[in-house]
Amino acid sequence: MRLFSIVFTVLFAAAPACAMQGTQAPPATTTTQELPRPTNAALFFWRAWDIQPKDLATTVDAEFNGRDLSWTPSVEVSKALADAQGFMLSIIRATELPTCDFGIEYNLGRDMDLTHIEKLRESARMLVSDTRRLQSAGKIDDAVRRVRALYSLSLLVRTDHLTSSSATAQGFARMASDEVRRLCEANVLSAAQKDELKKSADRLTGDDPFMFADAIRREGQISYHFLTSRFTGASAGQNLMNDVAKGGEPEQVVNAVQKLDGKGMKEQAAKVRDYHTQVAEAWTKEDAATAIRSLEEKVVSLEFGPVALLVCPGLSAARENAAAQLTMIREARALLDSSTPATPAPLGPVPPK
Q: Are residues 188 and 244 in the same domain?
A: no
Q: What is the pLDDT of residue 69?
A: 97
Q: Are residues 148 and 198 in the same domain?
A: yes
Q: Are residues 75 and 143 in the same domain?
A: yes
Q: What is the pLDDT of residue 343?
A: 55
187 part of a folded domain: yes
Q: Are residues 197 and 49 in the same domain?
A: yes
341 part of a folded domain: no
Distance CA 254, CA 180 (A): 51
Whether residue 53 is predicted with pLDDT greater than 50 in this model: the reply is yes
Please state, rounded to an integer, the average pLDDT across all residues of the chain: 90
- Span 278-291, pLDDT tens digits: 999 999 999 999 99
Q: Are residues 126 and 236 in the same domain?
A: no
Q: What is the pLDDT of residue 29?
A: 54
- Span 226-266, pLDDT tens digits: 999 999 999 999 999 999 988 899 999 999 999 999 999 99
Q: Are residues 237 and 198 in the same domain?
A: no
Q: What is the pLDDT of residue 338?
A: 81
| Residue 33 pLDDT level (bands cut at 50, 70, 90) | confident
Q: Are residues 54 and 112 in the same domain?
A: yes
> With 0-12 CB in 10 A as exposed, 13-18 as middle and 19+ as buried, what is 293?
middle
Whether residue 22 is predicted with pLDDT greater than 50 in this model: the reply is no
Whether residue 160 is predicted with pLDDT greater than 80 in this model: the reply is yes
> With 0-12 CB in 10 A as exposed, 13-18 as middle and 19+ as buried, what is 177?
buried
Distance CA 332, CA 178 (A): 7
217 part of a folded domain: yes
Q: Are residues 54 and 150 in the same domain?
A: yes
Half-sphere exposure of 113 (CA within 13 A, CB side): 6
Average pLDDT estimate for 205-222: 97
Average pLDDT estimate for 63-70: 97
310 part of a folded domain: yes
Average pLDDT estimate for 309-323: 97
Q: What is the pLDDT of residue 332?
A: 97
**Beta carbons of 48 and 91 less than 8 angstroms apart:** yes
Whether residue 349 is predicted with pLDDT greater than 70 in this model: the reply is no
SS3 340: coil
33 part of a folded domain: no
List the single range of 144-153, 203-212, 343-352 with lowest mean pLDDT.
343-352
Please say which residue of 204, 224, 257 terminates a domain: 204
Q: Are residues 192 and 142 in the same domain?
A: yes
| Residue 123 pLDDT level (bands cut at 50, 70, 90) | very high
Q: How many domains does the chain have?
A: 2
347 part of a folded domain: no
Structural domain harbouring 278: 213-320
114 part of a folded domain: yes
Q: Are residues 198 and 224 in the same domain?
A: no
- Span 97-115, pLDDT tens digits: 999 999 999 999 989 999 9
Distance CA 341, CA 198 (A): 13
Q: Are residues 51 and 188 in the same domain?
A: yes
Q: What is the pLDDT of residue 37?
A: 86
Whether residue 58 is predicted with pLDDT greater than 70 in this model: the reply is yes
Q: What is the pLDDT of residue 226?
A: 96
262 part of a folded domain: yes
Contacts of 37 (CB under 8 A, 6+ apart): none
Please say which residue of 147, 169, 204 terminates a domain: 204
- Span 126-151, pLDDT tens digits: 999 999 999 999 999 999 999 999 99
Q: What is the pLDDT of residue 62?
A: 97
The residue type of 67 is R
Q: Are residues 174 and 312 in the same domain?
A: no
